Amino acid sequence: MKKGELVAEFAKRTEMSATAANNAVNTFIAIVTERLKKGDTVGITGFGTFSVAKRAARKGRNPATGAAIKIAASKTPKFTAGATLKAAVNPKKK
């Protein structure tokens, strides 16, 4: 599902206009992005948690030449699924 499809589904389920649904989705994305930039975590009970993970500096190889290169330390966004989402995706069989 792409963003446009998400917006359309959101508009349909909430009976709001496509423009209002697009604004709601964009606002959610902006809020999560701003909080992650500050180093905060964003948890949605049952759905999951957005956080920032740190990657240590490491050595790598240039695949074209095979030369050793240094890869700088960095931060990356991370999502951990909540229990309710995990259960919905992977239901227990009886």
| Per-residue pLDDT reduced to its tens digit, 57-93 | 999 999 999 999 999 999 999 999 999 999 999 988 7
What Cα–Cα distance (Å) separates residue 32 from each residue in 11, 36, 81, 84?
20, 6, 15, 20
Residue recorded with tokens 């697009």? 22
Number of other CB atoms surrounding residue 7 within 10 Å: 19
Q: Which amino acid is at 7?
A: V
| 49 has pLDDT over 80 | yes
**Rounded Cα–Cα distance for residues 47 and 70 (Å):** 37
Looking at residue 26, its pLDDT comes to: 97
**Rounded Cα–Cα distance for residues 78 and 51 (Å):** 5
Percentage of the chain exceeding pLDDT 90: 95
- The model's pTM is 0.80
